[in-house]
Amino acid sequence: MGNNMRGKRQFKRSFYKLADSPYMFIFPYAALFSLLIVLPVAVAIGLSFTYFNTVQAPKFVGFQNYIDLFTGDTIFLQHAISNTLFYAVLVGPIGYMLAFFLAWMLSQVPHRIRTIYTVIIYSPSVTGSIMVTVVWKVLFSGDRTGYLNYWLMKMDIIQEPLQWLKSPELLVPIMIFIALWGSMGVGFLAMLAGLLNIDKTMYEAAYIDGIRNRWQEIFYITIPSMKPQMLFGAVMAIIGTFNASGVAATLSGGSPPPQYAGWMIVDHANDFGFTRFEMGYASAVTVVLLYIVILFNKISYKLFGEHE
């Protein structure tokens, strides 16, 4: 009887100990993280070495997919890679600098009006993909009833309506423009908050130490004091640019867009994966994309990370 009681108590105690263990807290997320982030990446890498059409079991083909991708896939080589890099190199840094510049200006106006500006500048980033179709397609519509065409013709800047969304030369700049318009999201907010939290005495000390102008102030005080937020903003900017897919097809009204203008690596992967069901090949495309994303992040960690 007494033994039984002790056993019960012991069981109870060890149960509490188990329930209170840190692993109980981390477990749900760790499981989901493994299932939804680690495993997909591993599966993508694994499948990229196979031929897999979703009906038959995957067949190991070694590096064949990568060899095909880098030697034979002209659409990938000439359009997907160059478009993605071009787009990322333009939208990423420009959007990033714009976000910093806007946040910097915002940090120097009074609170109430700053809130209004901030909401307005942030709002395009949450408009969603339907907005692209609705607003930009109508504004850039190619006939003379298109808003931009109408205004430009009225002002005698152009004589004939321009096919904004059907010509490859115009489609890509428009995509970049739209992306920049919608890029003032979480990263921008973080940078603004970072700016507002810089200790004022830092500036006072700097002015006493002989900082003479606002440029010096930005480079010697502001940016170094908010490096962690700058890095967060950079990471957000990078994901934002690589997340873009299907925009060109939406704007031009068909997939693939004319002459594969604005055709991204993600579009290429989805095309092979979900249209042609060549999952192995599509996975190889995905792996290349992930590698590029990591590369870009490495660069921003180099620039803004605090080196230990």
Partner 1 sequence: MSVVRSLIKFNPQKLHKDQWGFHLVLLILSLFMLLPIVFIVNHAFKPFTELFAYPPTFFVKMPTLENFRLLINFSAESGIPASRYVFNSLFTTTLVILLTLLISSLAAYALSKLSFRGKHVFNKVNTLALMFVPIAVAIPRFLIIENLGIFNTYLAHIVPMLAMPIGIFLLKQFMDQVPDDLIEASKMDGAGNWRVYWNVMLPLVKPALVTVAILTFQASWGNSESSSIFMDDESLRTLPFYMNTLVAQSGNIVAGAGLAAVAGLVMFVPNIVLFIVLQNKVMDSMAHTGIK
Minimal distance, residue 142 CB to partner 1, in Å: 13
Q: Which residues in 51-110 contact partner 1 (CB under 8 A)?
A: 102, 105-110
- Choose which of 16, 60, 86, 177 interacts with partner 1 (CB under 8 A): 16
- Choose which of 95, 142, 257, 273 interacts with partner 1 (CB under 8 A): 273
- Choose which of 2, 22, 62, 210 interacts with partner 1 (CB under 8 A): 22
Q: Which residues in 151-190 contact partner 1 (CB under 8 A)?
A: 154, 181, 184, 186, 189-190
Sign of CA dihedral 64, 70, 76, 82: positive
Q: Which is nearer to partner 1, 1 or 111 (CB)?
A: 111
Minimal distance, residue 24 CB to partner 1, in Å: 8
Cα–Cα–Cα angle for 35, 38, 41, rounded to 5 degrees: 115
212 and 219 Cβ atoms separated by less than 8 Å = no
Minimal distance, residue 183 CB to partner 1, in Å: 11
Q: Rounded distance, CA 209 to CA 43, Å?
A: 56
Q: Which residue has the tokens 């420009």?
A: 94
Q: Which is nearer to partner 1, 51 or 181 (CB)?
A: 181
User: Is 266 among the residues that bind partner 1 (CB under 8 A)?
Assistant: yes
Q: Rounded distance, CA 188 to CA 96, Å?
A: 8
Tell me which stretch binds partner 1 (CB under 8 A): 1-9, 63-71, 164-172, 238-246: 238-246
User: Is 196 among the residues that bind partner 1 (CB under 8 A)?
Assistant: yes
Q: Rounded distance, CA 86 to CA 80, Å?
A: 10
State how far the alpha carbon of 274 is from the alpha carbons of 139, 262, 271, in Å.
Answer: 31, 19, 6
| Contact letters for partner 1, residues 113-152 (x by CB under 8 A) | x-x-xxxxxxxx-xxxxxx-xxxx-xx----xxxx--x--
Q: Which is nearer to partner 1, 1 or 119 (CB)?
A: 119
User: Is 220 among the residues that bind partner 1 (CB under 8 A)?
Assistant: no
Q: Is 60 helix (H, G, I), strand (E, B) or coil?
A: strand
Minimal distance, residue 170 CB to partner 1, in Å: 18
65 and 281 Cβ atoms separated by less than 8 Å = yes
182 and 126 Cβ atoms separated by less than 8 Å = no
